[in-house]
């Protein structure tokens, strides 16, 4: 982080000791030391006081840190999206594979378990869609680009937007097929 260096630079430019600066912004000398050594980060009130003492804007104080923070947030969001995507994939596979064994061995208890797994799968699917909408990603290439921290250029984006209708149609047909297979499986079990 750059803020520690900035605090130290401005403090020395004003010929202030850590104790003198701490007194001006109502914190301890140790707190100033921690900020300068990047062991902790000032809260917003302290940033405001620092900017007043140094006669500079908060933007100037945290200039390099904003990009670092954005990058860390972006990495966290990509990681969360990837985990959600993987969890959804596992649930979807379970949802397709386990109904017959559950119904066969556990009868009505199996139905309840399968309904709970299906409900969780649907919930995670909605969460995943919400994340995709938040970052305006819908196609496989857009998802891959997002997970790699990249953006598609305008031409690639337009091509991907053109594919969305076909992909939604294919997804609907696949969902219908899976639902029909499950219904047939139910019918065979209940006979």
126 and 153 in a single domain? The answer is yes
93 and 148 in a single domain? The answer is yes
CB atoms within 10 A of CB 141: 15
Identify the pLDDT of residue 187: 73
Identify the pLDDT of residue 138: 60
Q: What are the pLDDT digits (tens) for 31-88?
A: 999 999 988 888 888 888 998 999 988 877 776 555 565 566 577 777 888 899 899 9
- Whether 35 maps to a domain, the answer reads yes
101 and 35 in a single domain? The answer is no
Task: Check: CB of residue 7 under 8 Å from CB of residue 36.
Answer: yes
- Whether 68 maps to a domain, the answer reads no
148 and 109 in a single domain? The answer is yes
Average pLDDT of the residues in 107-116:
90
CB atoms within 10 A of CB 174: 10
Identify the pLDDT of residue 123: 92
State the helix-helix crossing angle for 29-36 and 18-25, rounded to 10 degrees: 110
50 and 98 in a single domain? The answer is no
d(CA 91, CA 85): 10
Identify the pLDDT of residue 4: 87
22 and 84 in a single domain? The answer is no
- Is pLDDT of 134 > 80? no
What total number of domains does the chain contain? 2
Please report, rounded to a whole number, the percentage of residues in the chain having pLDDT higher than 70. Answer: 74
80 and 153 in a single domain? The answer is yes
137 and 180 in a single domain? The answer is yes
51 and 119 in a single domain? The answer is no
81 and 121 in a single domain? The answer is yes
Q: What is the pTM of this model?
A: 0.47
Average pLDDT of the residues in 88-96:
89
Identify the pLDDT of residue 156: 66
Work out the mean pLDDT of the chain and round it to a whole number. 80
State the residue range of the domain holding 93: 74-190
- Whether 184 maps to a domain, the answer reads yes
């Amino acid at each position: 982080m750059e803020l520690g260096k900035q605090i130290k630079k401005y403090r020395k430019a004003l010929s202030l000791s850590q104790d003198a600066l701490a007194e001006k912004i109502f914190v301890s000398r140790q707190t100033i030391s921690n900020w300068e050594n990047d062991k902790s980060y000032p809260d917003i009130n302290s940033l405001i006081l620092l900017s007043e003492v140094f006669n500079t804007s908060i933007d100037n104080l945290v200039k390099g840190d904003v990009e670092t923070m954005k990058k860390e947030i972006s990495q966290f969001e990509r990681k969360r999206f990837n985990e959600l995507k993987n969890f959804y994939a596992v649930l979807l596979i379970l949802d397709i594979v386990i109904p017959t064994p559950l119904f066969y061995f556990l009868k009505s208890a199996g139905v309840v378990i399968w309904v709970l797994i299906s409900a969780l799968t649907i919930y995670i699917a909605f969460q995943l869609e919400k994340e995709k909408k938040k970052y305006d990603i819908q196609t496989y290439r857009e998802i891959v680009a997002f997970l790699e921290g990249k953006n598609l250029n305008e031409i690639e984006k337009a091509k991907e937007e053109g594919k969305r209708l076909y992909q939604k149609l294919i997804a609907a047909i696949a969902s219908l097929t899976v639902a029909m297979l499950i219904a047939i499986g139910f019918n065979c079990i209940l006979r």
